[in-house]
Amino acid sequence: MSAKLKGMKLSLEKLASEFRQAHGLNDRQPIRLRSLLQDLNVKTVFKPLSDGFAGMAVKAHSERFMLVNSDQILARQHFTICHELYHLFIQKVFTSQMCNPGQFNYKDSEELNADWFAAYLLIPRDGVLMQIVDWDELEKNQISLATILHLEQFFSCSRQALLIRLEEIGLIDRAYGEQFKSNIKRSAIEHGYSTDLYEAGNHNLTLGDYGAIARQLYDTEQISESHYAGLLLDLGVDLNELTTDYV
């Protein structure tokens, strides 16, 4: 790993830790993302979207919006939310971005930053180490499937995100992690866990006064009519299908 990349990742891990602390979270506990989004006043809509579109963030002056694909499993939605939080609160120059998080694309610096920030925010190093109770599993390539399942359930994260994080911490290498990439839902059932984390969900859930703020932004000419129409479509409202009401 180059010194530049190592420095970038350390900076993002520090930013993720500071973000947690700024919002009343330490580096050992999982995040309740719905509550965090409401505390941050991020207007969020969950709706079914195409496979290649995980989420979107929009920032207009002091208002922040997020769109999350509810057809993806909950664990991936959680990573998407953390990814979008980077764009909305950490990235210095940002207005809007359609995203497909989890690619760790080294050709797109801000998307790469957002992915690593999400990994650090969702799965903090101290929290991982505290949850591994068997000291032998702290040796490289000794972590068990039972502990893998415990960690992903504790942090409500996907297997893919967890394995990337464990490799980055130094607890596994990529070859060792391959054995944990199949039969994920079945292994959860066999170990007595709910499979909710591995299912789609949150369909048509809305957090915050999304529609009212979108209208306010339009009325004050902070966003265009087409942008406003797009925001309403996120709520399932098509302006072209609305008719005039008579009283």
CB atoms within 10 A of CB 147: 18
The domain ranges of the chain are 3-234
Looking at residue 224, its pLDDT comes to 77
Distance CA 20, CA 27 (A): 7
Distance CA 183, CA 233 (A): 36
In 142-240, where does DSSP find H-type helix?
145-155, 159-169, 174-177, 184-190, 210-219, 225-234
The alpha carbons of the chain give a radius of gyration, in whole angstroms, of 19
Looking at residue 158, its pLDDT comes to 97
Looking at residue 244, its pLDDT comes to 40
Looking at residue 243, its pLDDT comes to 43
Cα 185 from chain centroid? 20
211-220 burial code (b ≥16 CB/10 A, e <16): bebbeebbee
Looking at residue 22, its pLDDT comes to 96
Looking at residue 106, its pLDDT comes to 86
Looking at residue 128, its pLDDT comes to 98
Concatenated DSSP letters for 6-41? HHHHHHHHHHHHHHHHHTT--TTS---HHHHHHHTT
Residue 52 backbone phi and psi in degrees, to 5: -85, 10
Q: Mean pLDDT in runs of 10 for the chain (247 residues)?
A: 87 97 96 95 90 89 90 97 97 87 88 96 98 97 98 97 97 98 96 97 85 72 74 63 42
Distance CA 185, CA 71 (A): 17
